């Protein structure tokens, strides 16, 4: 069974540019989460989808971040325009009915 | 957001030594999880705890769910070089939409 996959693994962009991260959860997992870790800090919650609906987006930093999960399958997280403080590792995770979280390998974003 | 205080922040130990790390919070959690992140990888679940007072082992790893439901610890016995990585605690609150909150991580270095 395929795990959670994320793309790209690493993205380097300039301030003001746009980046879109993609996450494919484990098949059948209704719950999909986006997290971000800035070096040395905690893994911080961004938002939670249940199927295609946003269950909780209280962790989204500001309106430069837009997450979608059309059709309840894969999800995208777009940052537009990117700022320096957006740099970090963005993790996607999925779970089945509130069970264990399975993480992807993360997408490292570097904003110059 | 919820704050999970994880300590120590980093540890440097000799191979063969035992390791202990803990996580505390001012909030009550229904589930405590311990994850390990290897460099360039996503966090991988080590142990899940579902009941206050529960003590669970997974090989050389032992974790406990505190009686107050506000803390948890993880012990690693007889450490080996492949134990190197970052260990995260995570708490789950089912009454807030199945949201997981993570600690800041404990970076473990094992010296052969």
Condensed to tens digits (0 to 9), the pLDDT of residues B20-57 reads 999 999 889 989 999 999 988 899 999 999 999 999 99
- Compute how many other C-beta atoms are within 10 angstroms of the C-beta atom of residue A27: 9
Confidence category of residue A41, pLDDT binned at 50, 70, 90: confident
Q: Which of B7, B43, B93 to mutate to test the interface with A (most CBs of A within 10 A)?
A: B43
Q: Is B97 touching A (CB cutoff 8 A)?
A: yes
Residue A26 pLDDT? 95
Does residue B99 surpass a pLDDT of 80? no
B98 contacts on A by Cβ (under 8 Å): 31, 48, 55, 95, 98
Please give the structure tokens belonging to residue B74.
């993880």
| B94/A40 CB distance under 8 A | no
Query: Is the CB of A14 inside 8 Å of chain B's CB atoms?
Result: no
pLDDT at position A72 is: 86
Q: Is the peptide bond before A8 cis (omega within 30 degrees of 0)?
A: yes
pLDDT, average across residues A88-101 = 88
3-state percent helix, strand, coil for chain B, nearest multiple of 5:
5, 55, 40
Cβ contact A21:A7 at 8 Å? yes
> What does the block give as tokens for B71?
């803390």
Contact B48 A31 (CB under 8 A): no
Strand extents, DSSP E, B15-84? 19-25, 31-37, 44-49, 55-58, 61-65, 71-76
B12: which residues sit within 8 A by CB, 6+ positions away? B109, B111
> Quick one: pLDDT band at residue A98, thresholds 50, 70, 90?
low
Q: Which residues of B touch A59 (CB under 8 A)?
A: 1
Distance, CA of A23 to CA of A94 (rounded, Å): 10
pLDDT of residue A2: 80
Residues of B (16-75) whose Cβ lies below 8 Å from A = 33, 35, 40-45, 48
What is the spatial distance between Cα A51 and Cα B84, in angstroms, rounded to a whole number? Answer: 36
pLDDT-based confidence at residue A42 (cuts at 50, 70, 90): confident
Helix H segments across B1-112? none
Residue with tokens 């094992």: B110
**Residue A100's pLDDT band (boundaries 50, 70, 90)?**
confident
**Residue A77 — pLDDT band, cuts 50, 70, 90?**
very high
Residue B7 CA to residue B53 CA, distance in Å, equals: 20
Taking a C-beta distance cutoff of 8 angstroms, is the pair A112, A12 a contact?
yes
| Confidence check: pLDDT of A32 > 90 | yes
Mean pLDDT of B51-71: 95
pLDDT of residue B3: 75
Query: Is the separation of the CB atoms in A80 and A16 below 8 Å?
Result: no
pLDDT at position A39: 81
Centroid of chain to Cα A107 = 8
| Average pLDDT of the residues in A11-22 | 97
């Amino acid at each position: 069974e395929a795990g959670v996959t994320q793309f790209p693994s690493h993205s380097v962009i300039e301030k003001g540019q746009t980046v879109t991260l993609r996450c494919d959860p484990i098949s059948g997992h209704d719950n999909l989460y986006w997290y971000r870790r800035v070096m040395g800090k905690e893994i911080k919650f961004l938002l939670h989808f249940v199927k295609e609906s946003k269950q909780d987006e209280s962790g989204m930093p500001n309106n430069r971040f837009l997450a979608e999960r059309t059709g309840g399958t894969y999800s995208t997280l777009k940052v537009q325009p990117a700022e320096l403080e957006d740099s970090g590792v963005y993790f996607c995770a999925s779970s089945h009915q509130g069970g264990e979280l399975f993480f992807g390998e993360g997408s490292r974003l570097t904003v110059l | 957001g919820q704050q999970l205080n994880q300590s120590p922040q980093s540890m440097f130990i000799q191979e063969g030594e035992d390791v202990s790390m803990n996580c505390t919070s001012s909030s009550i959690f229904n589930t405590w999880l311990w994850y390990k992140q290897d460099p360039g990888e996503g966090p991988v679940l080590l142990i899940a705890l579902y009941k206050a007072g529960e003590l669970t082992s997974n090989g050389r790893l032992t974790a406990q769910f505190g009686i107050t439901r506000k803390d948890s610890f993880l012990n690693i016995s007889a450490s080996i070089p492949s134990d190197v990585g970052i260990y995260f605690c995570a708490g789950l609150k089912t009454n807030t939409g199945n949201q997981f909150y993570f600690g800041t991580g404990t970076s473990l270095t094992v010296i052969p």
